[in-house]
Amino acid sequence: MSATAEAMAPRAAAFTPVGPTVIDCQLQKVFYGDFLAVRNSNVPIEKGKITGFIGPSGCGKSTVLRSLNRMNDLIPIFRFEGHVKYHGQDVYGKNVDPVVVRRYIGMVFQQPNPFSMSIYDNVAFGLRLNRYKGNLEERVQKALERAALWKEVKDKLNKSGLSLSGGQQQRLCIARAIATEPDVLLMDEPCSALDPIATRQVEQLMLELKESYTVALVTHNMQQATRVADTTAFFGVDISQGGRTGYLVEMDETRRIFEDPQEDLTKQYVSGEFS
Ligand SMILES: Nc1ncnc2c1ncn2[C@@H]1O[C@H](COP(=O)(O)OP(=O)(O)OP(=O)(O)O)[C@@H](O)[C@H]1O
């Protein structure tokens, strides 16, 4: 670790959540094969808040986000040292089923990815997978209402999810993710494929969703972080060892990260000196 990076790590690690922590994520080292992709990143996710992850390309934002609900399990060369605990329980515990983890910690991806099936079936998918025994129609409607899509699709629930616009597709994916009523929603650049109007709709939706869910959001868009995130984690890339290893530089209330950051690197990044 470089001297600069060493100096930065303790302060970042000292971030103390104000409210209860839903996910206690402490990643000492994250590898893809031999490649050290992320180091020294303690990123507590606080209840009822939107936690934004920002930083230059390749700093490990998505890697950290995907570690929270074991999405990286799908990559055989992924491994890490550290722990991820959800309400104190080890997410990577021996007997923990990743499908169950994702039932509580849902995910929305960068590209809207509705399944090639009807709007209704898209939203009902996770409920059926989890053998939901209640009133399916009611739950589908509720999820679509919460995702601010119901009014636009209520008369065409049998149409393909793929027939919707990009912004509608992303709200459909959000409806699909919240239908099973997860506790936490992970969003990996959910607006990057959307136009400004659809982006604003999804941002508005995020603000409404945080009333019921805890959200962690990866975004390339710093304005988006200032608009929606309560807390922001800024990641940098350490090139001192010849590789490109991401690490948490600083995490704080969003206002502080953008107006009064503690670290020079954060200052330079939020003022647009590098990207
Ligand atoms: N499946 C993988 N196999 C090997 N290396 C990977 C894999 N996924 C990511 N990486 C590497 O890990 C590092 C972190 O990638 P990650 O996608 O987490 O960064 P990011 O900050 O989200 O980037 P971006 O903003 O460009 O999406 C990068 O160097 C990337 O090339």
CA of 8 to the centre of ligand 1 (A): 22
**Measured from the CB, is residue 61 less than 6 Å from ligand 1?**
yes
**pLDDT score of 15:** 63
Task: Look at the chain and report how many structural domains it folds into.
Answer: 1
267 lines ligand 1 (CB under 6 A): no
For range 106-133, the mean pLDDT: 93
Within-domain flag for 107: yes
Has the ipTM of the complex gone over 0.90? Answer: yes
Distances (CA, A) of 12 to 44, 46, 99, 181: 11, 16, 31, 32
pLDDT in tens, 172-189: 999 999 999 899 999 999
User: What average pLDDT does range 144-150 have in this prediction?
Assistant: 91
Pair of tokens at residue 34: 């031999």
Domain encompassing residue 147: 3-270
Q: Looking at the domain assignment, is residue 275 inside a domain?
A: no
Report residue 268's pLDDT band, with 50, 70 and 90 as the boundaries: very high
Q: Is residue 36 part of a domain?
A: yes
- The reported pTM is 0.91
Ligand 1 atom 23, closest CA: 58
What pLDDT, on the 0 to 100 scale, is given for residue 179?
94
Question: Is residue 125 domain-resident?
Answer: yes
20 found inside a domain:
yes
CATH number for 54 = 3.40.50.300
Ligand 1 contacts CB of residue 75 (under 6 A): yes
Mean per-residue pLDDT of the chain = 91
Paired strand residues for 50: 215
Total number of residues shown for the chain: 275
pLDDT-derived band at 240 (thresholds 50, 70, 90) equals confident
| 215 in any annotated domain | yes
> What is the structure's pLDDT at 40?
95
Asked if the model's pLDDT at residue 13 lies above 60, the reply is no
pLDDT higher than threshold 70 for residue 4? no
The reply to whether 122 falls in a domain is yes
Cβ-proximal residues to 73 (8 Å cutoff; 6+ apart), any chain: 98
102 domain residue, yes or no: yes
* Ligand 1 pocket residue status of 13, Cβ below 6 Å: no
Give the E-state strand segments of the chain in sequence order. Answer: 21-32, 35-42, 45-46, 50-54, 78-86, 89-90, 105-108, 184-188, 214-218, 231-238, 245-253
Determine contact, residues 255/261, Cβ cutoff 8 Å.
Answer: no
- Asked if pLDDT for residue 10 goes beyond 50, the answer is no
Residue 7 pLDDT level (bands cut at 50, 70, 90) = very low
pLDDT band, very low/low/confident/very high, at 14 (cuts 50, 70, 90): low
What is the per-residue pLDDT across 185-223, written as a single tens digit (0 to 9) for each?
999 999 988 888 889 988 998 999 998 899 999 999 999
